[in-house]
């Protein structure tokens, strides 16, 4: 997907999240994961870490080498996306208490990913988007 495609999808999903209530924590966390994945890929494309024809579906599926490389230039994005991913098992698929707090935290992680993606500039040796 192109960087512009990622941005468009992330923005539409984020706008939809504004319609959710705190009690809709499953939808908020799942939406934050979807939007966060798009912002994450936009950031990686803008950094020149990945070409536009290659996307990361989940941070948990990165190889150790990919995780290390991306972590060196985008650690906050990786950590924020992993935090959202980690909350899905407990609060979307599970019944752990504290779902509303987890949803607020997912939105904070989404904000961090978005800001980092929009601030991303090609790293030395990376291809511009």
pLDDT digits 0-9 by tens, 50-85 = 888 888 877 777 778 777 778 888 889 999 999 999
pLDDT of residue 129: 45
Is residue 34's pLDDT more than 60? yes
**CB 6 within 8 Å of CB 41:** yes
Confidence category of residue 124, pLDDT binned at 50, 70, 90 = low
3-state secondary structure of 100: helix
Domain locations along the chain = 3-119
Higher pLDDT, 63 or 116: 116
Torsions phi, psi of 111, nearest 5? -60, -40
Nearest C-alpha neighbor of 77 from the set 125, 102, 27, 111: 111
Task: Please give the Cα distance from 113 to 126 (Å, whole number).
Answer: 20
Higher pLDDT, 128 or 121: 121
Is residue 126's pLDDT more than 60? no
Residue 5 CB burial class (10 angstroms; 0-12, 13-18, ≥19): middle
DSSP state of 24: G
**Mean pLDDT, the chain, whole residue set:** 89
């Amino acid at each position: 997907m192109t960087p512009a495609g990622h941005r468009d999808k992330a923005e539409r999903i984020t706008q939809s999240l504004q319609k959710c209530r705190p009690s809709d924590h499953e939808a908020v966390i799942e939406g934050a994961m979807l939007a966060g994945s798009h912002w994450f890929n936009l950031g990686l494309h803008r950094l020149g870490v990945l070409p536009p024809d290659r996307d990361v579906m989940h941070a948990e599926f990165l190889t150790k080498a990919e995780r290390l490389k991306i972590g060196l230039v985008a650690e906050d994005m990786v950590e924020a996306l992993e935090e959202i991913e980690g909350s899905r098992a407990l609060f979307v698929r599970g019944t752990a208490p504290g779902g509303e707090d987890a949803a607020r935290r997912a939105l904070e992680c989404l904000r961090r990913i978005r800001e980092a993606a929009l601030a991303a500039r090609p790293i030395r040796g990376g291809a511009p988007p």
